[in-house]
Amino acid sequence: MSDLSQIVKAYDVRGTVPDQWDERVAGALGTAFAQMLDGAGPTGEAVLIGHDMRATGPKLAEAFATGVRAEGRPVIEIGLASTDMVYYASGALGLPGAMFTASHNPAQYNGIKMCHAGARPVGQDSGLAEVRDRAQALLDKDEPLGAPTAPVERRDLLAAYAAHLRTLVDLSDIRPLTVVVDAGNGMGGHTVPSVLGDAALSALPLHIVPLYFELDGTFPNHEANPLDPANLVDLQRAVVAHGADIGLAFDGDADRCFVVDERGEPVSPSAITALVAARELARHPGSTVIHNLITSRAVPEIIREHGGEPVVARVGHSFIKAEMARTNAVFGGEHSAHYYFRDFWFADTGMLAAMHTLAALGEQPLPLSTLAAEYERYVASGEINSTVRDQAAKVTEVRAAYPDAEVDELDGLTLRFPDGAWLNLRASNTEPLLRLNVEAPTAERMTALRDDVLAVVRR
């Protein structure tokens, strides 16, 4: 019997196939999703369904669609898609959606990211808990799902998605740039050619150097997780080898984008958040910008310097999106390289963040390393993961080790120190890990604080 509490996380479904979930579970989740929608909005509207390049995606998506159709809701299948393509479709068509992906996780995983109409998030507090409970009840009965009674339609929305993004950032007048893109055998290999490629936009002054654009859910070259420095090595080498101006790395479902400068050095997602925030605030003065708790403290500083109002939120796309909608924020950024835009239905799109970065670079003559330095003021550790048996006990132990620090418990444990240094220690929502982020005014202070905390966590 499937235990859905093991795969239904704070803001999506994620687990290994077939041992944690399979097509039977997907069908139950589809029926439960349709039932949840019946209680939350108009009945009978269609549900959009897309999937990434993982081998298990088509069958799981088909089973989910059958469950939806058994509840009398039509299905629009958009086939191979990035997650932000599904958000585009949900926003542009005003329909709920489901994207089958496990994002950056290894090949044996798959999952579902769901949204209400208009790309509004489905998280634990906005329908996902109800979906889990309804689906669990269906699985516990161990009865066949009803026969599908509603139709299914197939649409190709890739060109419309690309055209919409090109209305939001104009790249036609920037200086010529050589851009290395590492798609990691993920969905960036499907979307980048349509949005940035010469075949789609012959007039665009970009020379794209592709790495691993072949769609392959076994990830034969490296995991599609640019947050791990090991997975950036090929991109870094290629940027230097080609004398490129910039490198872009997308994760498996291409909703996140990481940036490498012309020297092959990573540009922190906090710097990209600040850069894009400054651009959006120039267009929409005085607007709110969301950042999560573990972006650099340079981010709220720069937001204020450009006349914006910074608002902090918990880590996780459903939390960020909810805060974006509540405050009508123009933009939001996370340390994990998720970037959210009011112009994109408050949803996250790595592609649009990449386009903003290309525009900022191409509108001025300086190299990216010089441009990015304007937005990087402090020294950060990056996210460091530790496998810990008793996560709560370790968090308590770290808090007790610094009795004079300012404490914030919005998202895990944040400790702030008088010299400007800070640390955040939080449990992963999807894995048995404690995640540590440390930032300080100097490398020496950051290193010392990081090592002291890790000594406690890993003792």
Is 44:159 a contact under the CB 8 Å cutoff?
A: no
Catalytic residue among 82, 103, 126, 336: 103
What are the phi and psi torsion angles at 190 (to 5°)? Answer: -90, -40
Contact 298, 376 (CB under 8 A): yes
Residue 25 three-state SS: helix
Instruction: Report the C-alpha gap between 325 and 17 in whole angstroms.
Output: 34
Q: In sequence order, which ranges of 169-252 are alpha helices (DSSP H)?
A: 188-195, 233-241
Instruction: Output the CA–CA distances (angstroms, integers) from residue 420 to 69, 284, 291, 298, 377, in the order listed.
Output: 55, 30, 18, 11, 12
Active site residue 82: no
**How buried is residue 161: exposed, middle or buried, by Cβ count under 10 Å (0-12/13-18/19+)?**
buried
CA nearest neighbour of 232 among 263, 258, 271:
258
Q: What letter represents residue 32's amino acid?
A: A
Query: Residue 96: which of 81, 106, 86 has the closest Cα?
Result: 86
Any idea what the Cα angle at residue 32 is, between residues 30 and 37, rounded to 5°?
A: 95
Identify which of 345, 351, 303 has the alpha carbon closest to the alpha carbon of residue 321: 345
Q: At what angle do helices 83-93 and 350-362 cross, to 10 degrees?
A: 100
Report in angstroms the alpha-carbon separations of 228 from 5, 104, 217, 266, 410.
27, 10, 18, 11, 25
Q: Given CA atoms 396, 402, 404, 405 in this order, what sign does their dihedral have?
A: negative
Distance CA 13, CA 127 (A): 12
**Both tokens assigned to 124:** 């634990």
- Find the angle CA(299)-CA(300)-CA(305) to the nearest 5 degrees: 100
Q: Would you name the residues annotated as active-site residues?
A: 103
